[in-house]
Amino acid sequence: MRKKIIAGNWKMYKDLTESAELLGGLKARAGEIPSGVTLVVCPPYTSLALAGATMKETPIKVGGQNMSEHDEGAFTGEISAKMLKSTGCEFVILGHSERRQYNGETNEGVNRKARKALAAGLRPIICVGETLAEREGGVTESVVGTQVRGCLDGLGDRMENVVVAYEPVWAIGTGKTATPAQAQEVHAFIRKTVEEMFGPSVAGNLVIQYGGSVKPDNSADLLGQKDIDGALVGGACLKADSFMQIAKSALR
Ligand code: PGA
């Protein structure tokens, strides 16, 4: 049985003081996390060291929201996998649709970053998903298939440390969630694509998260689907209570 992974993407919210409050609130309730669920917080870079220190003796894991594809060097404003690791990170979100949209991230670039992340001992959460125009144009599977093949290319022997997040772009921050059936359909397609790439055992063990307006009132239905193994949560992870409610709904 695949473990459920619930990750909270804080995006560009929470300064250090606000981060301390949210991290403290989550830490205080860590005992409520069901045993088959891994909870991950992904605060902005400026709060990562604090998150790493706060969550050290707890089951809650920490992740970055992005990283450089380079090891080190003259790359002003960039952060390396090793730097993330040194703050206590175990995960890193790669290829989020906002980074694809505003920072020109490509499947090839995400693949290079994923290789670096894995080499540094980080588990990449690789984001894929179609836009509204693509869904309405009937090309969801070809878009998502190309993203999965491009981002995961050559990662076969390290796939046990990879997480894929399916996030339909039209559902992110819009309040429009994919129905559980719509999400399940794409998740099954992603698993089939991974099976074609790396075989049934890798595909069967892959954790595939759903993301896009996941809230406490829809999470149980989404997470109850056969191929939905977790959630990547934006807005609803910014309050300890709603994030914990989502975590608790994962194993009903
Ligand atoms: P949302 O964001 O939950 O606010 O829709 C999800 C995400 O972007 O990962």
Tens-place pLDDT, residues 151-180: 999 999 999 999 999 999 999 988 888 899
Q: Please determine, for residue 74, whether its predicted confidence score (pLDDT) is greater than 70.
A: yes
> Looking at residue 131, what is its pLDDT?
95
Atom of ligand 1 nearest to the CA of 232: 9
Atom of ligand 1 nearest to the CA of 127: 9
CATH numeric code, 4-249: 3.20.20.70
Nearest-CA residue for ligand 1 atom 6 is 234
Yes or no: say if 2 and 205 are a contact pair by the CB < 8 Å rule: yes
> What is the pLDDT of the chain when averaged over all its residues?
97
> Looking at residue 15, what is its pLDDT?
98
> Looking at residue 78, what is its pLDDT?
98
> Looking at residue 80, what is its pLDDT?
98
Interval 15-42 mean pLDDT: 97
Percent of the chain with pLDDT over 90: 96
Q: Please determine, for residue 142, whether its predicted confidence score (pLDDT) is greater than 70.
A: yes
Q: Please determine, for residue 235, whether its predicted confidence score (pLDDT) is greater than 90.
A: yes
Count of CB atoms situated within 10 Å of the CB of 57: 9
Pocket test for ligand 1, best of 65, 66, 91, 172 (most atoms within 8 A of CB): 172
Q: Please determine, for residue 252, whether its predicted confidence score (pLDDT) is greater than 90.
A: no
Active site residue 70: no
Yes or no: say if 101 and 65 are a contact pair by the CB < 8 Å rule: no
Q: Please determine, for residue 32, whether its predicted confidence score (pLDDT) is greater than 90.
A: yes
251 pLDDT tier (thresholds 50, 70, 90): confident
Q: Please determine, for residue 1, whether its predicted confidence score (pLDDT) is greater than 70.
A: yes
Yes or no: say if 181 and 174 are a contact pair by the CB < 8 Å rule: no
Nearest-CA residue for ligand 1 atom 1 is 234
Yes or no: say if 162 and 206 are a contact pair by the CB < 8 Å rule: yes
